Amino acid sequence: MRHRLPRAYAFAAATAVVLGVAGCGTVTPEDTGDGGSDTASSDTAATGDGDGTLTVVDDAGRTVELDGPAERAVVLNSYGNEFAQAIGAGDRVVGYDRVSASRLPYLGIGDDEIVSENLQEINYESVVALDPDVFIIPRNGAWQEAAKQLESFDIPVVVATAWDFDVFHETVDLLGEVFAEPEGAAQVSGFYDEIFDLISERVADTEPVRVYWETEEPYLTGLPGSGFDQIIVAAGGENVFGDLDISGDQQAETTVDPAAILERDPEVVVHEFGPSAEPTGQDRFDTLADELTGRAGWNGVSAVADDRVYVSNGWATSGLSKALGALYLATWLHPEEFSDVDPGDYLTRWAEDFQGADFPGSDAYIQKVG
């Protein structure tokens, strides 16, 4: 096992010196000392050497050693904090980013627990003062700088990207091992699989429905490679801008020509604004509804003419790595196939059972226009 200097001492000694993409989620704890081994997942072995240390391979393909399961963690990114809460490790998170505090008010995050404004502007002095066992950050954050800055304080950095639809299971398994919560991780994965199994079964023999999914800003939409495009396809839809591919980035988005939307004539339109668990006021829904349906030429768009325009809070439709959004969308695209399914029941389970949050009802987050 690595032996660490007390961090207060290490901080004083190193401040003057220091402070002046590959496979994801394979996890290997060291030997438990009894000659046995555990298996974190079907393709992830666990072996050990008796000293209690834990070795993981993170989302950046880095092998990272921890002294053992994390009892104190700094987690940046609201999706990562949702996952930590969902697997049963939320009580071990001691440091957050300000965006998580804004989006997840039910966590009760205090100002003294905030160590960064976002994924780039990190106060490393505040991180060290919290004495965490691990610092967790997604791969679109400043993880390289964090690893360099925190190395002298013996604080390991683990890259875990909870917003990425493509590595959902790997990320949940990784966090389950970091926090020694394999059962909680399995429950979260099982809920996710339950949703997508239901969707896959019901949309299997359906014809794709044309979808325009707008994110936060007018005319900003997801392209192939983005999570939004992936859930459109998974829900039995066709992204009306699915023929565009500007970068291949997993968060690929672009602002499109308003006239192009009219030409491609979506049958369903979804506008998702920024995520927050704070219930959305009706005024915001009404304002967005008027803005969307009042756009020039939109009275001739099939989605508007057929009353198939929806407005959503991203906390609901991007939650659980967008699984909840995929289910909502599938029910909007194929109402007959999902006539006995209420996606609000699944959102309720996510909020109450996995997040421990008071839930005022799905209408506080998602509404149909008109």
The pLDDT tens digits of the residues spanning 121-178 come to 999 999 999 999 999 999 999 999 999 999 999 999 999 999 988 899 999 999 999 9
CATH number of 7-180: 3.40.50.1980
CATH number of 197-368: 3.40.50.1980
Q: Contact 231/326 with Cβ under 8 angstroms?
A: yes
The pLDDT tens digits of the residues spanning 195-239 come to 999 999 999 999 999 999 999 899 999 998 888 999 999 999 999
Distance spanning both ends of the chain, measured CA to CA: 62
Where does CATH 3.40.50.1980 sit in the chain? Answer: 7-180, 197-368
The CA distance from 19 to 205, in Å, is 58
Structural tokens at position 121: 């502007």
Q: Contact 119/138 with Cβ under 8 angstroms?
A: yes
Secondary structure in 3-state letters for the chain: CCCCCCHHHHHHHHHHHHHCCCCCCCEEECCCCCCCCCEEECCEECCCCCCCCEEEECCCCCEEEECCCCCCEEECCHHHHHHHHHHCCHHHEEEEEHHHHHHCHHHCCCHHHEEECCCCCECHHHHHHCCCCEEEECCCCCHHHHHHHHHCCCCCEEECCCCCHHHHHHHHHHHHHHCCCHHHHHHHHHHHHHHHHHHHHHHCCCCCEEEEEEECCCCEEECCCCHHHHHHHHCCEEECCCCCCCCCCCCCEEECCHHHHHHHCCCEEEEEECCCCCCCCHHHHHHHHHHHHCCCCHHHCHHHHCCCEEEEEHHHHCCCCCHHHHHHHHHHHCCCCCCCCCHHHHHHHHHHHHCCCCCCCHHHCEEECC
Q: Note the pLDDT of residue 182.
A: 98
Task: Please tell me the pTM assigned to this model.
Answer: 0.84
The CA distance from 201 to 205, in Å, is 9
With bands split at pLDDT 50, 70 and 90, how would you rate the model's confidence at 26?
very low
- Phi first, then psi: give them for residue 232, nearest 5 degrees: -60, -50
The CA distance from 19 to 125, in Å, is 8
The pLDDT tens digits of the residues spanning 324-343 come to 999 999 999 999 999 999 99
Check pLDDT > 90 for residue 46: no
